[in-house]
Amino acid sequence: MSDGTKPTPTASRSGGSPACNPAIQPCPLAVTVSITLSAAVACPGHPLSITAAGTPSGGTYSWTVSGGSAELVDGSGAPASSGPSVNLRSFKSDDATGKIPEQIARVGVTYTHPNGTATDWKPVKTHQIEFAVTNKAITSGFTEARETATAVQLWSFHGAEMSTDPQVEIKLDASCPRKVDCAANHQVGWLQTMLTDARQARYSHTLVHVVVATPIRDVWNATVFPFYSTVTAFTGDRDKATVHHEDSPSFPASPGAPWTDPRAGIGASPPPVPPPATNLQLRSMNFSDTFTAWLVVQNIEWGAHHLADSFAYQGHFDWSMQLNVTVDTTKTVGSRVSPKKNRITAPAEIQSGKGGGTPNLAAPIFNTSAVLKVDPAAGI
Amino acid sequence: MNRLDEMFTTGPETLVALSRAIVAGPVSHYSKEVEEVSQGSAPIPVRWIISGQLEHPETLKGDVPEGLLRFSREEQSPFLPAPEPVPTWEAAYAQWQREDKAVVFLGKKPGEILRVLPSGTGERNLISLVRLIVSIHKTARNEDEETAAWQRHLLSGAPSTAEGRRIALRSLLTRHWSDVASTLREVMSRKDAELRQYAYGIVAYGIVRDKWRDTAGPAEFLCTQLANETDAEVAGGYRQYIDLVLRFASDENFREQRMALRDQLQSCRDR
């Protein structure tokens, strides 16, 4: 694979001096360089150490790389293109299938010495990884209205509104030189972006509404940025992980929206008291959300440097929920809210690949970014 | 923790078990400091801090801590999304009411306060509920005796809160199906629709979490109770739990083993 290990005398390169004749004087030592890989095959996202040995000593090295997502870095992960050793790392997934395809990079080095220059190059293979996803069913539950003596809450009261438990198996290529470590460099979890959100409670003379800029990242019980919830690292080749995902949007949080206006008696112009009996009373609530969720395998080492490109998309789905209700507080508790429930909208199964959307990976999340606005409103 | 596990495995008994000591009593030096108000032209309080001092505390569990016990607790408007998950059972205690007493759950480390919750009357009487939990923990010599005590509590007709009855139902998950089936059937004959739904859900949960080796009995229970249910709204809730079990039974890795369960529930669900 080497194409430049022969010496290139400075005189010849410049063309201004006569050719070396050892019968007259000793010729300069020939300049050579050769590349050595620390392993025959690289793992996706993991640095592969590459060393060049140039002779005679005292020269400088200049590295290049081409092909796919491959890059050369130093020990700390910063870009590198000089010195006798560099690391190659490469990771690129196929958004349509979720596979991490094999890549071949061409790594080259030029060794420059006062006696001349020499070059060498080598192809470096980064092996492929495939994943098998089973149990793709999505359970579509309900958003329900629950009335108590003091309030009403829109939520799910029979388990999650949306849930799914796919299983993902990692399948390393046979050529992988470090199977346990390579598998452990991949973790599987869910990303979710809230695309739209509407939450309003309308009292006779007051509008209470939640305002948030969307799209926004969504999390629940998250432990690792930017995942929605917990993540699981693979433990070896053919390891299988069940990756639970669920969400149960609620409005309001417990104990719910009080039947009477929270603005009652507050401020210089509080809402009018009864009569009529509808004054200060909750009249309606609107609650709807839309989301996209992605089932992803993240290459952990690649993610430390290229977060947005560190995911292999194993599946995705769009889903939404809506429960808009009218409220009549003259009725007995249990009969005040209509309709009582609405099924969420989601496909029957997780769909392949990344789909048309892109997850929001910015730091802000819905639960801590939403603000509450309260305004007077025309009487109803 | 996912919503299903949270619904059927956690409650005040979880917090009681975590606590080294629990004290309760009236509150003096009560204050409510508003930290933030809403946006818009008619602002209302959005976030506030309740603080106070426990007067004449009653020890519900463990040793009485020395000195005055001061506490504070952050609350927020329910209209704002909760920043962190809050256990469902704490919903009744989400907002402090002026006359509430305080229940302070102390952790293992000296001075560590795990949680401060208000205790009111009726369904919000947390002090009575904690007393009941602690007394059953104390008198039972093992898990079986504890479950038996909860079963007696459930069946005795003694005054109880909804959460007390739910704790009793949760304890049944540790017993063999044959030991709990008749208790569950009795519960399902009651007028309390919320309790019936919870009992039905706990049987579905027991199946999907492999609490019982043989699922035929619990599955038959689900089918029978669905057929007997006269309230269409409640029956709709039952079907959601059957859907949960059907998904469990459709797991591609256990398709063969769970085929009978799937067939049994599919036929009764669509009946």
Average pLDDT over residues B12-19: 96
pTM of the model: 0.91
Q: Which of A119-123, B135-139, B143-147, B259-263 has the lowest mean pLDDT?
A: B143-147
Please identify which residue in the block is written with the tokens 């059957």: B242
A163 touches B at CB < 8 Å:
yes
Judge whether B133 lies within some domain.
no
Mean pLDDT of the residues in chain B: 92
A160 interfaces chain B, CB cutoff of 8 Å: yes
> With an 8 Å Cβ cutoff, is B80 touching chain A?
yes
| Residues A272-303: tens digit of each pLDDT | 999 999 999 999 999 999 999 999 999 999 99
**Distance between CA atoms of residues A20 and A28, nearest Å:** 8
Which residue among B7, B83, B233 sits closest to A367, beta carbon to beta carbon? Answer: B83
Residues B182 and B253 reside in one and the same domain: yes
How many domains in chain B? 2
Write the ipTM: 0.90
Which residues from chain B sit within 8 angstroms of residue A366, using beta carbons?
81
For residue A11, pLDDT beyond 70: no
Q: Which residue has the higher pLDDT, A314 or B142?
A: A314
Taking all residues of chain A, what is their mean pLDDT, rounded to a whole number?
Answer: 93
Per-residue model confidence as pLDDT tens digits over B202-250: 999 999 999 998 999 999 999 999 999 999 989 999 999 999 999 899 8
A56 confidence band (pLDDT: 50, 70, 90): very high
CB contact under 8 A, B38 and A256: no
Biggest CA pair distance of chain B: 64
pLDDT single digits (tens) A301-349 = 999 999 999 999 999 999 999 999 999 999 999 999 999 999 999 999 9
Domain membership of residue B136 (yes or no) is no
- A148 closest CA partner among A40, A258, A72, A74: A258
SS3 for chain B is CCHHHHHHHCCHHHHHHHCCEEEEECEEEEEEEEEEECECCCCCEEEEEEEEEECCCEEEECCCCCCCEEEEEEEECCCCCCCCCCCHHHHHHCCCCCCCEEEEEECCCCCCEEEEEEECCHHHCHHHHHHHHHHHHHHCCCHHHHHHHHHHHHHHCCCCCHHHHHHHHHHHHHCCHHHHHHHHHHHHCCCCHHHHHHHHHHHHHHHHCCCCCCCHHHHHHHHHHHHHCCCHHHHHHHHHHHHHHHHHHCCHHHCCCCHHHHHHHHHHHHC
Q: Are residues B161 and B262 in the same domain?
A: yes
Q: Please state, in angstroms and rounded to a whole number, the distance separating the CA atoms of residues A201 and A323.
A: 12
pLDDT above 90: percentage of residues in chain A: 88
**Same domain (yes/no): B119, B173:** no
Are both B188 and B222 inside the same structural domain? yes
Query: What residues in B contact A246, CB-CB < 8 Å?
Result: 2-3
Please tell me the predicted confidence (pLDDT) of residue B257.
92
Contact B85 A201 (CB under 8 A): no
Chain B from 5 to 24: CB within 8 A of any A CB: 7
Give yes or no: residues B121 and B152 share one domain.
no
The Cα B242–Cα B238 span in angstroms is 6
SS3 for A105? Answer: strand
Geometric angle at alpha carbon B57, from B54 and B61, rounded to 5°: 120
Q: Does residue B31 have a pLDDT over 50?
A: yes
How far B78 CA lies from chain A's nearest CA (Å)? 5
The reply to whether B240 and B181 lie within a common domain is yes
The residue of chain A nearest to residue B81, with distances taken between CA atoms, is: A367
Over residues B68-89, the mean pLDDT reads: 91
Note which residues in 211-270 of chain A have CB less than 8 A from chain B: 211, 220-221, 244, 246, 248, 251-257, 262-263, 266-267, 269
Looking at the structure, do residues B111 and B189 belong to the same domain, yes or no? Answer: no
Selection from A138, A97, A102, A45 nearest residue A314 by Cα: A97
Mean pLDDT of A88-97: 97
In a domain, B140, yes or no: no
Tokens 């201004």 map to which residue?
A16
Domain boundary among B96, B128, B160: B128
Question: Which chain A residues are closer than 8 Å to B252 by Cβ?
Answer: 134-135, 167
A222-256, pLDDT tens digit by residue? 889 999 999 999 999 999 999 999 999 999 998 89
Say what percent of chain B tops pLDDT 70: 100
- Nearest residue on chain B to A197, judged by CA atoms? B81
Share of chain A above pLDDT 70, in %: 95
Final residue of a structural domain among B128, B162, B189: B128
Q: Which residues from chain A sit within 8 angstroms of residue B242, using beta carbons?
A: none
- Give the pair of three-digit tokens for residue B174: 């540790």
Measured distance CA(A61)–CA(A86) in Å, rounded? 10
Q: Are residues B8 and B103 in the same domain?
A: yes
B77 and A252 in contact by Cβ < 8 A? Answer: yes
Claim to verify: residue B72 and residue B101 sit in the same structural domain: yes
My answer on whether B7 and B98 are in the same domain is yes
Is the sign of the CA dihedral A75, A81, A82, A84 positive or negative?
Answer: positive
CA distance B244 to B254: 15
B195 within some domain? yes
Binary contact (B253, A134; C-beta < 8 A): yes
What is the average per-residue pLDDT within A81-99? 97
Asked if the Cβ–Cβ distance from B3 to A255 is below 8 Å, we say no
Range of the domain at B41: 2-128
Instruction: Report the chain B residue with the minimal C-alpha distance to residue A254.
Output: B91
Residue contact B241–A253, C-beta within 8 A = no
Rounded Cα distance, B229 and B225, in Å: 6
We report the CATH number of the domain holding residue B160 as: 1.25.40
Of A220, A254, A262, nearest to B44 by CB-CB distance is A262
pLDDT of A6 over the 70 cut: no
Query: Burial of A244 by CB count in 10 Å (0-12 exposed, 13-18 middle, 19+ buried)?
Result: middle
Of the pLDDT bands very low, low, confident and very high (cuts 50, 70, 90), residue A212 is very high
Query: Which among B3, B41, B251 is the nearest to A160, CB-wise?
Result: B3
pLDDT of residue A231: 97
A308 touches chain B (CB under 8 A): no
Q: Which of A21-25, A221-225, B87-91 has the lowest mean pLDDT?
A: A21-25
A370 and B CB contact within 8 Å: yes
Does residue B167 lie within any of the structural domains? yes
Residue B141 lies in a domain: no
8 Å CB contact between B258 and B249: yes
Closest partner residue to A158 (CB to CB) among B90, B240, B253 is B240
**Chain A positions in Cβ-Cβ contact with residue B2 (cut-off 8 Å):** 160, 163, 244, 246
* A&B contacts, CB < 8 Å: 125
Hey, is the C-beta of A377 within 8 angstroms of any chain B C-beta?
Answer: no
- Minimum distance, in Å, between the CA of residue B67 and any CA atom of chain A: 34
A12, pLDDT greater than 50? no
* Nearest partner of A186 among A245, A109, A127, A134, judged by Cα: A127
Residue B82 confidence (pLDDT) above 90: no
Residue A19: the pLDDT is: 65
Interface test with A, best of B3, B209, B226 (most A CBs within 10 A): B3
| Residue at A63: amino acid letter | W
Residues A26-55 pLDDT 10s: 888 899 999 999 999 999 999 999 999 999
Per-residue tokens: B17: 């078990």
Residue A186: pLDDT band by 50, 70, 90 thresholds?
Answer: very high
Contact B40 A373 (CB under 8 A): yes
Same domain for B176 and B240, yes or no, is yes
Q: Which are the contacts of A307, defined by CB distance < 8 A and separation ≥ 6?
A: A226, A361
Nearest to A376 among B41, B197, B247 (CB): B41
B122 in contact with chain A, both atoms CB, cutoff 8 A: no
Q: Are strands A216-217 and A116-126 parallel, antiparallel or unpaired?
A: unpaired
pLDDT band at B252 (very low <50, low <70, confident <90, very high): confident
pLDDT at B29 over 90: yes
- The larger pLDDT score, comparing residue B103 to residue A23, is at B103
**DSSP code for A221:** S
For residue B161, pLDDT beyond 60 = yes
**pLDDT given at position A340:** 95
pLDDT at res. A18: 54
Q: Left if phi > 0, otherwise alpha if psi is -120 to 50, otherwise beta: which for A156?
A: beta
Mean pLDDT in residue range A11-18: 38
Structural contact between residues A358 and A307, judged by C-beta atoms closer than 8 angstroms: no
Q: Is residue B265 part of a domain?
A: yes
Q: Is the pLDDT of residue A14 over 60?
A: no
Residue B86 distance to chain A (closest CA, Å): 9
Tokens of A308: 């947005």
Q: Is B142 on the interface with A (CB under 8 A)?
A: no
To the nearest 10°, report the CA torsion of B184, B185, B189, B193. Answer: 40
Examine the domain organization and report whether B153 and B120 are in the same domain: no
Domain boundary among B71, B94, B128: B128
What is the C-alpha separation between B246 and B238, in angstroms, rounded? 12
- Whether B138 is in a domain gets the answer no
Asked whether residue A191 carries a pLDDT value surpassing 80, the answer given is yes
